[in-house]
Amino acid sequence: MVWYYDLLQTLSNGVFGTFVKEDRFILLLKGLGVSLELTFFAAIIGLGIGLLVAISRINRIPVVSSIADLYVTIIRGTPVIVQLIIIYFIIIKAIFPAIVTAMIAFGINSGAYVSEIIRAGILAVDRGQMEAARSLGLSYRQAMIKVIVPQAIKNILPALGNEFIVLLKETSVAGYIAIDDLTRAAMKIRNITYDPTTPLFFIAYLYLMMTICLSKMLTSYERRLREGD
Amino acid sequence: MIRVENLHKYFGDNHVLEGIHAHIKPGEVISVIGPSGSGKSTFLRCINLLEKPDEGEIYIKGVPLIENMKRIDALRQQVGMVFQQFNLFPHMSVMGNITMAPKMIKKISDADAKDLAMELLQKVNLSEKADAFPNRLSGGQKQRVAIARALAMHPEIMLFDEPTSALDPEMVGEVLEVIRNLATEGMTMVIVTHEMGFCKEVSDRVFYMDHAIIYEEGTPQQIFEHPQKKRTKIFLSKVL
Ligand SMILES: Nc1ncnc2c1ncn2[C@@H]1O[C@H](COP(=O)(O)OP(=O)(O)OP(=O)(O)O)[C@@H](O)[C@H]1O
Ligand SMILES: [Mg+2]
């Protein structure tokens, strides 16, 4: 049990140095703000890209869909940190500020997963639905809009929620390109106080609370969907 | 009404239709029977181009379908289709299922579409289910809604692919009853079925399909009482 008391001791000693002294909690608050902002805009960019990629892959638009395939393969097959650093240092560092670059990089990353989610959601709708709609005289587009997409959304939304939870956690590597997100704020405080335990446990707790909240919202939403059936 | 000329269909190397010829007159009721895998569904699905034929042509009221592929959405409206698995739209009420296509394609008003739907629901004996969702219906009720939905586009031809095969036995009758009434009203119909009794009673002609062709055809009496060809005889001896 000794380690347990040690940990408590360290934490209570660390709280003052970590949060109160020199107003360091403001650093953390700002970091939290940056992480949320980054997640939010990356999610929007990812959704946009994912939608376009999914549409071009489902409709097998020549050339575009092979590029889309390649994009999904590369993004899913390489670590997000590597993608982030490549995009930052090699591609668009010169044009945008770091935070925008990060939004774009995480958006590009998320887009690949979102496109797969959307594609899977649409393909999961029974083939007979499209056939029934077409046999009534609806065009492919009309059938998609009126029949397929409304059913696919039920498959897609829960998986999208999960993707955003993953995204929130993944933005914690944004510090690699010098963005002061929540994780980097904690590391900075550690560098000043030489106490890694308190800030890291604290931000772990924050991440956990946020993801638990999102999961809870998701679960209750899914339950409502199921009741609708 | 329907003329099929030298229809061929391949799935990969599988030659599923090897030259189908058929001529179906207005008001005629055709039953298509035959062993599993003989191409009955594929033949039916080719008639409204849910499957694209690889060779041959299909004429609906004299208009060649494949040649007019670009207008296929309009041409399909003349041909209603009813599926074994019903394929109702689960996110729409019974009313929504029936009114969607007429409102969307024929641009008829909401009120007119509802009147039409109620009229059709009466016809299939389901007036009280207008606001129900498909998951609250029995199989027989679903299939009757699916028939009403197809009729809402005022098709001149109705295609049925084993409309009662997914039903519990006690619900087969109610669906056959609806189809029988359509036959009496003079609807041109092509019905793929395993219900031999119904087939005998309702059809003007029977197509026996085997090995990717219409192997033998004739009136129900000719086919069921005096089949001429060997495989027809063997099939009938198994199913009757
Ligand atoms: N989409 C498809 N892709 C590949 N092969 C198919 C497809 N649809 C049907 N087939 C094949 O075509 C052949 C004819 O199938 P079809 O469904 O027309 O037979 P059927 O006479 O309707 O049989 P059943 O009585 O079992 O419904 C079968 O060998 C089947 O495996
Ligand atoms: Mg079949």
Mean pLDDT, residues A118-129: 96
- The CB-side HSE value for A105 (13 A sphere, CA atoms) comes to 30
Mean pLDDT, residues A75-99: 88
Whose Cα sits closest to atom 30 in ligand 1? B37
pLDDT tens for B119-155 read 999 999 999 999 999 999 999 999 999 999 999 999 9
pLDDT tens for B85-106 read 999 999 999 999 999 999 999 9
Mean pLDDT, residues B198-209: 96
Best of B82, B104, B107 to disrupt the A interface (most A CBs within 10 Å) is: B104
Query: Is CATH 3.40.50.720 correct for A37-160?
Result: no
In order of A15, A104, A173, the CA distances from A188 in angstroms are 15, 25, 14
Across the interface, whether the CB atoms of B83 and A147 are under 8 A apart is answered no
Across the interface, whether the CB atoms of A137 and B89 are under 8 A apart is answered no
Indicate if the pLDDT at residue A163 is higher than 90. Answer: yes
**Confidence band of B64 (pLDDT split at 50, 70, 90):** very high
Confidence at residue A89, expressed as pLDDT on a 0 to 100 scale: 86
Confidence at residue B226, expressed as pLDDT on a 0 to 100 scale: 94
Atom of ligand 1 nearest to the CA of B43: 18
The one-character DSSP state at B131 is: T
Across the interface, whether the CB atoms of B50 and A131 are under 8 A apart is answered yes
Bigger pLDDT: B240 vs B179: B179
Confidence at residue B21, expressed as pLDDT on a 0 to 100 scale: 96
Indicate if the pLDDT at residue A11 is higher than 80. Answer: no
Q: How far is B192 from A224, CA to CA, in rounded Å?
A: 40
Q: How far is B103 from A145, CA to CA, in rounded Å?
A: 14
Chain A residues closer than 8 Å to B84 by CB: none
Confidence at residue A1, expressed as pLDDT on a 0 to 100 scale: 60
Mean of the per-residue pLDDT values of chain A: 90
Mean pLDDT, residues A11-27: 74
Q: Residue B153 is nearest to which of A137, A139, A146, comparing CB atoms?
A: A137
Indicate if the pLDDT at residue A55 is higher than 80. Answer: yes
The one-character DSSP state at B157 is: E
**Confidence band of A228 (pLDDT split at 50, 70, 90):** low
Across the interface, whether the CB atoms of B81 and A146 are under 8 A apart is answered no
Pocket of ligand 1 (CB under 6 A): B 11, 14, 16, 34, 36-42
Confidence at residue B195, expressed as pLDDT on a 0 to 100 scale: 93
- Prediction ipTM score: 0.94
Best of A126, A129, A131, A135 to disrupt the B interface (most B CBs within 10 Å) is: A135
Best probe residue, ligand 1, of B42, B162, B194, B208 (max atoms within 8 Å of C-beta): B42
What is the whole-number distance in angstroms between the Cα of residue B203 and the centre of ligand 2? 19
Mean pLDDT, residues B41-60: 95
Q: How far is A85 from A87, CA to CA, in rounded Å?
A: 5
Domain residue spans of chain A: 37-160, 182-229
Bigger pLDDT: B21 vs A154: B21
Best of A125, A127, A129, A136 to disrupt the B interface (most B CBs within 10 Å) is: A136
B183: three-class secondary structure by DSSP: helix
Q: Maximum Cα–Cα distance for chain A, whole Å?
A: 75
Confidence at residue A91, expressed as pLDDT on a 0 to 100 scale: 76
Across the interface, whether the CB atoms of B101 and A139 are under 8 A apart is answered no
Confidence at residue A86, expressed as pLDDT on a 0 to 100 scale: 93
Q: How far is A152 from A130, CA to CA, in rounded Å?
A: 12
How near does any CA of chain A get to the CA of B216, in Å? Answer: 28
Whose Cα sits closest to atom 9 in ligand 1? B42
Amino acid sitting at position B143: Q
Q: Give the number of A-B residue pairs with CB atoms closer than 8 Å.
A: 61
